[in-house]
Amino acid sequence: MMRNNIEPTEASRQYAAAYAAHYTGRDLPLAFQLYKELMVSHPSTQEAGYARMQVQNLINSVVPKQELLDAQIERLLAYFENDDRHDAERT
């Protein structure tokens, strides 16, 4: 019988550490930092995708819903303002 001995990747080790900080250690600031480092150091990996989802979970569990909505509205307004400037430059 052949055993499947797949060595964990650096991205999977980083994700495991962040996940442990998040759910086992309940150290949310550390978990966020570790997820963020993973997304920067290995942006195109499956683990980076999982890290993005976990960051969303952190945001949703920590930041009040009204603050999230307010921040999204501000961001959208800023986008529209920048988009208007880009449109004016094109004409």
d(CA 36, CA 27) in angstroms, rounded, equals 14
- What are the residue boundaries of the structural domains of the chain, listed by start? 10-90
DSSP 20: I
d(CA 75, CA 81) in angstroms, rounded, equals 10
If you search the block for the tokens 């819903």, which residue do you land on? Answer: 65
Give the predicted TM-score (pTM) of the model: 0.75
34-75 tens-digit pLDDT: 999 999 999 999 999 999 999 999 999 999 999 999 999 999
Burial of 52 (0-12, 13-18, 19+ CB in 10 A): middle
C-beta of residue 54 within 8 angstroms of C-beta of residue 22: yes
